[in-house]
A and B are shown apart, each in its own frame.
Chain A
Amino acid sequence: MQCDAFEARLQLLLDRRQAPERDPALLAHATCCTECHAVLHAQRLLFQGLELGDVPDPGSDFTMCVLNRTQVRATRDRRLSVHLPLALLALATSLLLIALPHFTHRQPRPETPTSQAKPDTSDSANPQDQLATADRTHTSGSSSWEDLLTLYPEKTRRRHLQQMDRLTNDLRPITQSFTTAAAALRRTILVGKHRRKKNQPQAQLLTPTRDSQYS
């Protein structure tokens, strides 16, 4: 038997959980070859050492610790299962409130004869009229919601639009406050991102100086 064959045969026996001593050919080779004899001896010692090696017992309170941890984990999971849907619902509602104005129908107001007749002079224009003009300009394009509603019959479409307009009007104070808050937040973040350049002067105080007071 060659040393390679010895090695393969030894592994095969160990794979079958059999003692190498059960194979006479293996033992015969080990008596002739010093290296293989050392391997066989080391193998025997290895398994002796494994059997002798005592794994310490876990602590006496091991089982109680496991049960306590299980209960704590279960309580946490239960709490999470209640709070998580609520948090998601609140988030979804907030997003809906913010996004709603973009999807509502804004029908362009019909041009009144008076507004048509009146010349559009920005200097003399009433601020309310200017606001109305701006609103018309802003909402003249059709929204995706409108596109969707064109697929419905006219009567259904009108009913839906009326309902949606009513809902929008009811929710307008809330959405406006959300939009204002979001804009303020965006402004704050953007301002925070811009760093002052090296040579850029800081904002000056607006209190009048002595010179400017008398000049």
Chain B
Amino acid sequence: MLIDELRGLIRRCLNGDQVAMQDLVDRFRGQVFGLCYRMLGHREDAEDVAQETFVRVLKNLHRWDSEREFEPWLLAIAGNRCRTALARRMRRPTVSSLVEPLPSRSPDLSAAKQLAEEVDLALRRLRAEYREAFVLFHEHQLSYAQIAENMDCPVGTIRTWIHRARRELIQYLQAREVVETRNAM
């Protein structure tokens, strides 16, 4: 979507146009839900947090600086909501969050799906900050400066977090013998 088109859409949202609001949510729901799902690792929680993100975005749309990009601002709000949800989960852990999900190692499962599950599990084991920075950089293609602004941290810290995230993910995959499994195939 072109930036002018997006600005027009947001202007219509600010005027209370319901159709424009619907278009805006439809346009960005995949990205927001993707980040929430990666951060929370739980479909229902991710859906709830993604909805909450859009509610806040639509409420505070007038605060968005039209000179800047919309997507990083949106993902920053989503990241904040995810961190709040994670903190809430830490305070009141549910049974589903205490039980660590294990990737199924059944032989009929394709190798690709198995690898994806292992990577997903490895991501869940990362610290929340590392995970958010890693996902924003590698999945949402945000720059270090944009992530730093979103997460309110220096750029150097973000770089360190992403490096550590990569290292820890590799260590985890090696510890799970995913690498050897692939080599053997």
A residues whose Cβ falls under 8 Å from a Cβ of B: 11, 14-15, 17, 38-39, 41-43, 45-50, 52-59, 62-63, 65-67, 69-70, 73-74
Residue of A nearest to B43 (CB): A56
| Nearest-Cβ distance from residue A129 to partner chain B, whole angstroms | 67
The complex places the Cα of A46 from the Cα of B120 at a distance, in Å, of 10
Segment at the interface with A among B63-71, B90-98, B166-174: B166-174
Is B87's beta carbon under 8 Å from chain A? no
Contact check, A63 vs B120: say whether CB atoms are below 8 A apart.
no
Contact B47 A58 (CB under 8 A): yes
The distance from the CB of A65 to the nearest CB of chain B, in whole angstroms, is: 5
- Bound-complex Cα distance A66 to B59 (A): 11
Chain B residues touching A, majority SS: helix
- Contact indicator per residue, chain B 32-63, by CB within 8 Å of chain A (1) or not (0): 01100110000100110011101100110000
Contact B51 A66 (CB under 8 A): yes
Contact A53:B119 (CB < 8 A) given known A58-B33, A58-B47, A73-B55: yes
Contacts of A56 in B (CB 8 A): 37, 43
Proximity string of chain B (114-140) to chain A, C-beta cutoff 8 Å, 1 when within and 0 when not: 011111101000000000000000110
Task: Please report the C-alpha to C-alpha distance between residue A139 and residue B65 in the assembled complex, in whole angstroms.
Answer: 61
Q: Is the CB of B37 within 8 A of A55?
A: yes
- Pair A11/B29 contact, Cβ less than 8 Å: no
User: Is the Cβ of A49 less than 8 Å from the Cβ of B182?
Assistant: no
Q: Are B38 and A55 closer than 8 Å at their CB atoms?
A: yes
Chain B interfacial positions (CB closer than 8 Å to A): 18, 21-22, 25-26, 29-30, 33-34, 37-38, 43, 46-47, 50-52, 54-55, 58-59, 112-113, 115-120, 122, 138-139, 141, 144, 159, 162-163, 166, 169-170, 173-174, 178-179, 182-183
Asked if residues B47 and A59 are in contact (CB atoms below 8 Å), the reply is yes
With contact pairs A45-B182, A56-B37 given, residues A62 and B29 touching in the complex (Cβ less than 8 Å): yes
**A55 B179 Cβ-Cβ under 8 A:** no
Nearest CB of B to A66, in Å: 4
- List 20 contacting pairs A-B, 8 Å CB cutoff, sorted by A: A15-B144, A39-B170, A41-B179, A42-B170, A42-B174, A42-B178, A45-B173, A45-B178, A46-B119, A46-B122, A49-B116, A49-B118, A50-B139, A53-B116, A53-B119, A55-B30, A57-B33, A63-B29, A65-B51, A66-B51
Indicate if the CB atoms of B163 and A46 lie closer than 8 Å.
no
